[in-house]
Amino acid sequence: MAEQTNATAPEALSDAANLEMLKRERRANNVWHKLTRNKMAVVGLIIVAFMVFLAVFAPIISPYDPNATDMSNMFAAPGQAGHLFGTDSYGRDLLSRIIYGARISIFIAIGGTIVGAIIGVLLGLVAGFFGGAIDSIIMRVMDGMMAFPFILLALILMTILGQGTQNVIIAIGVANVPNFARVVRGQVHVVKNEEYCNAERVIGASPARILFKHIFANAMSPVIVYFTLNIASAIISEAALSFLGLGVQPPTASWGAILSEGKSTLQTAPHIATISGVFILLTVLGFNLFGDGIRDVFDPKQKR
């Protein structure tokens, strides 16, 4: 056989040394290692982790019941009377409401994005893989949906579906479908023309096998990036809907709802709107930084 490893390879070029290099390379190319080399991504990840921590452990962390009113202690300034973030117009503890709000806001943002991603990815896969008329029909519908401003579309859906957490998730999800469909379709177009898809056809693989076992996995990296970045915008969407009174029902706390309540008392009690606004800002920033970091990890043409 032509290839033989020379039995007398020196130590420096031995199989063991080569294996060590392979291991080093795998470590260096490991997604987690690459991500943690990017400082801004780590900052983003910490922010995101902190917010998720708040949301998950809300009942344990929050010092008060978020919905317990205290009429004797309305509009308390931050730090007053044992309320770190002060209280709102009903005397409810703002810190507790923010913590519980994280639960609702992040839940809705992630839930909405998942709904959008699932539908969008499926449509995008089908459109990109089969092309032709199917592609045209799906993508023209998507274009039609995209022609509406995002918030208008969500507003229309909310009006049709009515209020409620579940419906906010559906509205945000549906409004995000075209974006996911576009990203996936574009990526499928790239991947399906890769030679390995031809190679699969030659070995007799069925279209379904090629689509789900090969194209799907290889088209996913931009979707993961887009998914993370999309959570950030979904948080804003939820806030906007709640701000407009179409989001979650009071007295449920969400960041958008708190911001909306704070709006009317911006002059007298600015801390309500400010603090909720800062949390929205931080979380959006966190997801964005994290998403950018993931993009750099997945993008082969990344600058170092």
Partner 1 sequence: MSETQAAAVAERPQVASGEPILSIKHLSKDFRLRGGKLFSKPQVLHALSDVSLDVYPGETLGIIGESGCGKSTLGRCVVQLHQATSGQIVYGGQDITKLSGQPLKAVRKDIQMIFQDSYSSLDPRYTAAKTIEEPMLIYRTESDASKREQRVLEVMREVGLDVQHLQRYPHEFSGGQRQRINVARALVLDPKVIVCDEPVSALDVSIQAQVLNLFRHLQQERGLTYLFISHDLSVIKHISDRVAIMYLGRVMELCPADKIYAHPLHPYTKALLSAIPPESPFDKKQEIKLQGEIPSPVGEQVGCPLAGRCPFCMERCRHERPSLEEVEPGHRVACFKYHDVVAE
Partner 2 sequence: MTEQNTGLLDDAGTKSGERILEVRDLKTYFHTAAGIAKAVDGVSFSLDRGKTLAIVGESGSGKSVTASSVIRLLAKTGKIEDGSIEFDGIDMVHVPERELLKLRGSDISMIFQDPMSGLDPVFKVGTQMVELIRAHSDLGKKEAYDRAVEMLRLVGIPDPEARMDAYPYELSGGMCQRVIIAMAVSCHPKFIIADEPTTALDVTVQSQVLSLLRGLQDELGTAILLITHNLGIVWEMADDVMVMYAGRTCEYTSMRELYSNPLHPYTWGLLDSMPRLSDTAKTDLKTIPGVPPDLRLTGTCCNFCNRCPYATEECHRRVPELKEVEPGHFVACLRQDGEHRLVRGEVNHHE
Residue 8 touches which member of partner 2, partner 1, none, C-beta under 5-8 Å by kind:
partner 2
Instruction: Restricting to residues 136-195, name those near partner 1 by CB under 8 A.
Output: 194-195
Please check whether residue 184 is in contact with residue 218, taking contact to mean a CB–CB distance below 8 angstroms. Answer: no
Query: Smallest gap, in angstroms, from Cβ of residue 7 to partner 2?
Result: 10
User: Mapping DSSP to helix (H, G, I), strand (E, B) and coil, where does residue 87 land?
Assistant: strand
Residue carrying structure tokens 């911006």: 266
Among 287, 283, 238, 230, smallest CA distance to 260 is for 238
Please identify which residue in the block is written with the tokens 């999800």: 173
- Tokens for 116? 């959008």
- Rg, the chain, Cα only: 25
Residues 5-44 that bind partner 2 (CB under 8 A): 5-6, 8-13, 17-18, 21, 24-25, 27-29, 33, 37
Q: How far is the CB of 298 from partner 2 (least distance, A)?
A: 16
CA angle 105, 110, 113 (to 5 degrees): 125
Q: How far is the CB of 27 from partner 2 (least distance, A)?
A: 7
Check binding of 31 to partner 1 (CB under 8 A). Answer: no
Out of 136, 159, 166, 198, point to the residue binding partner 1 (CB under 8 A): 198
Residue 201 CB, shortest distance to partner 1, in Å, is 6
**Contact assessment for residue 239 and residue 102, using Cβ atoms and an 8 Å cutoff:** no
Q: How far apart are the first and last CA of the chain?
A: 41
Q: Note whether 4 binds partner 2 by CB under 8 A.
A: yes
Q: Does 2 participate in binding partner 2 (rule CB under 8 A)? A: yes
Instruction: Find out whether 251 and 237 touch, Cβ atoms under 8 Å.
Output: no
For residue 24, state whether it binds partner 1 (rule: CB under 8 A): no
Report what 217 binds from partner 2, partner 1, none; CB cut-off 5-8 Å by kind: partner 1
Q: In this structure, how many other beta carbons lie within 10 angstroms of the beta carbon of residue 249?
A: 11
Residues recorded for the chain: 304
Burial degree of 285 (CB within 10 A; 0-12, 13-18, 19+): middle
Site membership for partner 1, residue 202 (CB under 8 A): yes
11 binds partner 1 (CB under 8 A): no
300 scored as a contact of partner 2 (CB under 8 A): no
- Of the pair 25, 65, the CB lying nearest partner 1 is at 25
By CB under 8 A, name the binding residues for partner 2. 1-6, 8-13, 17-18, 21, 24-25, 27-29, 33, 37, 303-304
List of residues contacting partner 1 (CB under 8 A): 1-3, 15, 19, 22, 25-26, 194-196, 198-206, 209, 214, 217-218
